[in-house]
Structure 1
């Protein structure tokens, strides 16, 4: 039902290209909650996630807006106007921005893969911003589940199983709402027969058409 993960750079590069690109990168371990970048930070680096999960978000006064979660193979920089924070123990590969740009000039074969991965990240950010502006919370949740179903869903006992590796708090951060609201909406969808929970972050979608209709 879904193809290769468009957001994983490490899977898209062959071994020789990957080795050439990562020359000069160094490994860094992050603990949960550690900031890797911030709007006022001085670090000017490019990083690639090897494991774990990194949250990219904006913060205004007492509100936070999640732009995306980066997982294995995701690439980003520390010099944007966003906060970059590990939401679980993570390992990243860090490289100086100027040196990385110089490497790419002599390694054009890596550029298309990087553009595709960054494009997938940008598409996700734009989807989140659009949802915050034009959809209520139920519509945002339905659209999120429908989109993830297209990427990760698989047939399972007459339904479609969706394994997210996200808890309710993670989903709430992505949707710009509270954990309680997400939990309430999921319970309502379960009562209506649209889905059921099969575990933490695991859902069986019984009526994909009704779910998609809720996302419109």
Structure 2
């Protein structure tokens, strides 16, 4: 069973189940590391991620700033002024922007759902930009865990289980720092009893109150 077959009711991809909306779109498979779009590119298309993950990032000289990761159900444009790179084998549905606009004019019921998906992506990008501007790395990491806990956390024994399909390098890219720094800060939080890592990508948050306090305190300190 494919990833798209397993989606739950209310999954954003359900907005695109109508064949009429997707007529004229074509399926494209990306290998790890392949670019789907870049600044100054001539392609002006809309794409819908079916499975996999795409990193949206800016690059200036020798530095890269990750804005967000796009996953199944996300919709985005190749004409955004950012680099779009598959970080794992990825499948997208690709169509010209003009084609999508013409279809939406005749299918107004799909517009609110698409706006919601785009709003979530924009909100995530703005949060990352705010963190880079006003928080130190420890504050960014604490806020990242706190936010992901609210979105994906579940009760597990006497703690909260958080399963992330992100490795340490992915988290470091989102926070604008190095993998070594993220590993060091996670180990420090583990020693302080805030969290523990049961296996790669799986964390048990034992003190969500301290996690939230850490993000707030670090944010204040870095903005003074």
TM bracket (short chain)? over 0.9
Give the paired residue count.
Answer: 209
- How far the C-alpha of 1:20 sits from its partner, in A, is 2.0
Measure the CA separation in 1 of the matches of 2:12 and 2:93: 12
Q: How far apart, in 2, do the equivalents of 1:202 and 1:194 lie?
A: 14
Q: Quote the offset at 1:9 in angstroms.
A: 2.6
Deviation string, structure 1 residues 150-171 (Cα, Å, up to 9, x no partner) = 0000000110000011000000
TM-score with structure 2 setting the length: 0.91
Where in structure 2 are there 5+ consecutive unaligned residues?
1-7, 217-224
Q: CA RMSD in A?
A: 1.4
Taking structure 1 as the reference length, the TM-score comes to 0.94
1:32 aligns to 2:32 (yes or no):
yes
- Unpaired runs of 5+ residues, structure 1, are none
Q: Is the 8 A contact 2:193 2:206 kept in 1?
A: yes
Counterpart CA distance in 1 for 2:12 and 2:194 is: 34
Instruction: Determine helix, strand or coil for the equivalent of 1:214.
Output: helix
Partner SS state of residue 39, structure 2: coil
Contact 1:25 1:95 in 2 (8 A): yes
CA apart distance, 1:80 = 1.0
Provide, for residues 59-89 of structure 1, a one-character-per-residue CA deviation record: whole Å limited to 9, x for no partner: 0000000000000001001011100000000
Match of 2:45 in 1: 45
Stretches (4+) displaced over 3 A: none
Could you tell me which residue of structure 2 aligns to residue 132 of structure 1? 132
Q: Is the 8 A contact 2:49 2:73 kept in 1?
A: yes
Aligned to 1:177: 177
8 A contact 1:161–1:204 mirrored in 2: yes
Corresponding position of 1:10: 13
Answer 1 or 2: higher relative contact order, Cα 8 Å, separation at least 6: 1
Match of 1:75 in 2: 75
